[in-house]
Structures are given as structure tokens and as C-alpha cells.
Structure 1
């Protein structure tokens, strides 16, 4: 059990809702959203959801949390969403997903520098295995590498990883939902002038676009980041980061189920390797009991 009163396994399962919903982003972007409007797509995903949370919670930051919420909002939401959509528009979903799979390794490095969480060989090894698994699962022989798309994907991973580590370092003064609202709103406000200047007026809203933005705003942002920030306060940040491997897994499954894309034997191997890396990263070698986290009142957390 942990201080939330939830068993660790249940907290991990609930937290998995976030990367599962993020895995739908590539499908929704390619099939439902207006073409070539990454900044507006990011803005319309974030800002309405953030304002909705503020209206529900009626809590605003106090003191130094004004600038902390702004920094976290830019890293976790504003910069990450914008760069994510640039990568999604300019790269095949497989290439973009492979870049996102590097996130656990980036968090391992940043957590060591900022949180003094020492990465184990076990976790580093499974982080590399996860990248290989995702690459096998989603990269095809004809995958094209757009330089700007790759740069955006890498920068997005670094922004999200830094935001994740800082969220853990600074803690949570108000609860998961208000904290999510502050960050999502700050990210949306950061994106709005950029979208207006770079892309002009908002795109024409078709019924499918409205449905896509509603899904990404509610499920992929409001719900996802609420459970995500809750987990960051309770579990070791490196364990949480490995859950992002679920995102390309879901993207691949949706391509198969919804778009009729075929799955080869090699992709099946990559699929299995990714899931094994995800599960193994949550446990310490030679034991099926979880280690304690560094926070004093957290009971059984991930290694």
C-alpha cells in the first residue's frame, strides 16, 4: 500500500490510462484534425481543458507557484504539445513513436541529476530494450526521416522529461486535478499567441475536428494529466516514465484495428519486447516485491 491508500499495482494500472489515451493522438491527428495546423491543434487540445478545470476547482496558484506552474505548463503541455503535433504532422506515426520511446532513458538521466535517483543497470537495460521493441513494432522499411520532424520529436521528449522530473522535485501543493488545471491552462496560454502569429486564424471546425479536439482535450489531457500528476507524486519518477511505452503500443494496435494495417512477425516480436520492458522496468530483478521509494511515507513503490 502507499499513502494514497491504493495498492501500488492499482495505481500503476490507473496511471496507464494516460499513455493509453496519448497513444490515440496519431490516429486522431491523421484522421480527424485539420491538416498542417500543429500549433492550433495543440492549443485547442490544451486551453479549453485547462479553463474547464479552473472553473471546476476554483483554485489559483499562490506565491512561487505562479512561476512554477508557468514553467511546468510550458514544459509538460505547451512545448510538448506543440512539438508532438509538429512531429505527428511531419513524420510517419512509427518514427514519431520511436522517438517518444526514448523518454524513459531521458528521465533516467535527468532524475539522477535533479533528484539523485540512481539508475540501475536493470532499468537502463530495459529502457534500451523498450526503444528496440518500439522500433521493431512501428518502423517500416520505407520510413522517411524529415529533419524538422525528428528535431521536434526529440525536443518534445526532452521537454516532457524535464517537466516530469521538475513536477516530482517541486511536489504538489493542491492535489492532482488543480495542478493539472494550472499546467494545462499555462500551456494553452503559451501556445495561443504562437498559433495566431505563425498559423493565423483558427482552423475551420468540422464535426470530425470538434470530436477529435474534445477527445484529446478531455481524455488525452484533463483525465490523463490528472492521473499522471497523481502518480508522479507517489511513485518513483523513473517508474512512471516507463509507462509511456504504452503509447506506441496503443498507436500500433489502433493502426491494425481501425486503419487495417497489417502486423508482421517482426512487429509481433517488437510488441512483445515492449510489453516485457514495460513490466520488467516496474520490478527489481530476482523479486516480485516492489522496492520502497525514496520518500519516507511511501510504502511499496517501484524499483
Structure 2
């Protein structure tokens, strides 16, 4: 007989903290990865990020892949492809445009997903408020001067970010623990191998660059994706997608503190709009 307690949903508080921690870790890792670009290129940095992160997670999780069924493998491989596309296109864009605008434009992916998944007018209102903040933050301070190729690349990353959210949900439901994520990262690294192996080899021979690459893998992949996968088990996709509206704010702060990128009054105003939308969506989710 099923008890009443089995129907109680997990408290959303810890999941919200997981998403916030993921945002902070991801942006610090992205700023750290920028130090690899002059030597490895964006493709090499992306390969190092996913490859080293996969090695760490595989050692910790030790997934029982021999017992996986076809639907579990399909979910993991789809997640790996989404990871490869999202990270590959984003780092290629980050080599051309600043961190704040890049994250802001990329956020259009999960923002659009949140709008599609929503069925209440109030939810659309929070999405529209966040969209206004994203638009101001991305374009009020000279966004027209952004490299058009960089913008195109980050828009492609936005599509893969939305796919990553969906794929993470399916993989998290199909496989318990972090084993699915570990194998997905390894598959994503294999997808990126042809384009990134030449640049990655340059970092492998340098202990200093290898240490930076390992830090990037931990901060930009292992920590945030583990937190997000856990959060997705506790939050609806719609609430998770809207919560990520904090990402541009965290990116602006990371760019200001770590990369000396200016945080103008217009950008600060946009951050306020995005934070208000995030608070509202969290309170009424």
C-alpha cells in the first residue's frame, strides 16, 4: 500500500540553491577558460573541459554501463550530444564577444523553452519580464557592435542549451546518480575530439595550462552540471528554465570581477529586471 508521505514533493529550497550555485560555478569556469584560448583555441579548451570533467566523474561515479538498457543509452547519448553542441558553440562565441552579452544571448534558449512549457498567463508574465531584462542587458551598451559571427555562434549554443535541459531531465529520470552525466560528458568529448585535439595537445604538455584546464573542467562542468541534474529531479522544467534567468546577472558580475569588463548603469538595470523575474517565478512556481 502506498503511504501518503510518498506523494509529498521534495522541498524546492535546496533545488533553488543548486541552480544558483551552478550559475556561479559555471561563470567562474568560463572566465578561467578564457585564459586557455590564446594557446588551445576555443575548440581545444572545450575538449579539455569536457574530457577532464568526464574523467573525474567516471572515477567517482563508476557507472554500471553493462546493465543499462537501450532507452538509458539513448538518453545518455542525447545528453552528450547536447553538451557538446552547447559548450562547443558557446566557447567559440566567447572567443569573439564578451562574457556578459554571450550568456545573455544564450539565455534565449532556456527562456524560450520556459515560455513553451508554460500554460499560465502569470508564468508568461515572468518570462516577458526576464526577456526585457535580457534584451536591455544584451544590447543597451553597444550590443550593435558585437561580432555577428559570435552572435550567430551563441544563438546556436542557445538552441543546444534548451535541448540540454530536456535531455538532462530524461537522463536524470532514466539513470540514478551521476553515472549518466559522466558517460554523457565522455561522449560529448568524443564528439568534439576531431576539432579540438590539436589545441588540447598544447595544454597537455604544459603543467600550468593543464592545471587551468582541470579547474575549468571542475568549475564549468563537474560542479554545475551535477547541481543542475540534481535540481532537475526536484523542479519542474518550467521553473528550472525561468530560474536560469539569473545567469546573465552572474555572468556580468564574473566579467566585472574576473575579466575587468565594465558593468554599466544600463546593464545593472537589466540585472534588476532579471532578478525580479527570477524571484517571482520562484515564489509562485
TM-score, normalised relative to structure 2: 0.84
Matched ranges for 1:143-154 at <5 A: 143-154=144-155
* Inter-CA distance 85–168: structure 2 relative to 1 (3 Å threshold): same
Per-residue CA distance 1:246-301 (angstroms, 9 max, x = gap): 322122112333444443332221121111111112232xxxxxxxxxxxxxxxxx
Q: Which residue of structure 1 aligns with residue 55 of structure 2?
A: 51
Equivalences for residues 1-303 of structure 1 within 5 A = 7-30=11-34, 32-35=35-38, 37-61=41-65, 62-64=68-70, 65-75=72-82, 77-108=83-114, 112=117, 118-137=118-137, 139=139, 140-141=141-142, 143-169=144-170, 171-196=172-197, 202-204=201-203, 206=206, 209-284=209-284, 303=285
d(CA) in 2 for partners of 1:78, 1:3: 36
**Cα pair distance change 1:135/1:24, threshold 3 Å:** farther
Aligned Cα root-mean-square deviation (Å): 2.7
Distance 1:4 1:84, change over 3 A: farther
Kindly indicate which of the two structures has a greater share of residues assigned to helix: 2
Return the offset for 1:146: 2.5
5+ residue gaps, structure 1: 113-117, 285-302
| Residue ranges of structure 2 left out of the alignment (5+ in a row) | none
**Aligned with 1:234: secondary structure?**
coil
Instruction: Give the CA deviation at 1:90.
Output: 1.7
Q: Deviations over 1:82-103 (max 9, x none)?
A: 0110111122223312212213
- The alpha-carbon distance between structure 1 residues 195 and 124, as it changes in their structure 2 partners (threshold 3 A), is same
- 1:26 Cα deviation after fit: 4.2
If asked which structure has higher relative contact order (CA below 8 Å, sep 6+), I would say 2
Offset at residue 2 of structure 1 (A): 9.3
Question: Could you tell me whether the CA contact under 8 Å between 1:84 and 1:156 is conserved in 2?
Answer: yes
Residues 266-275 or 141-150, more deviating: 141-150
Q: 1:15 and 1:4 mapped to 2: Cα distance?
A: 21
Instruction: Write the distance in 2 (CA, Å) between the matches of 1:283 and 1:154.
Output: 29
Runs of 4+ in structure 1 deviating by more than 6 angstroms, as ranges, are: 1-5
- Looking at structure 2, the residues matched to 150 and 45 of structure 1 have their Cα atoms a distance apart, in angstroms, of 22
Q: Distance in 2 between matches of 1:59 and 1:142?
A: 44
The C-alpha deviation readout for 1:15-34, integer Å capped at 9, x for no partner, is: 3211221222442233x213
Query: Structure 1 residues 223 and 204 mapped into 2: Cα distance closer, same or farther (>3 Å)?
Result: closer
Taking a change above 3 Å as real, the CA distance of residues 176 and 24 of structure 1, as seen in their structure-2 partners, is same
The one-character-per-residue Cα deviations of 1:209-249 (angstroms, maximum 9, x if unpaired) are 33432222112211211111111122101111123223221
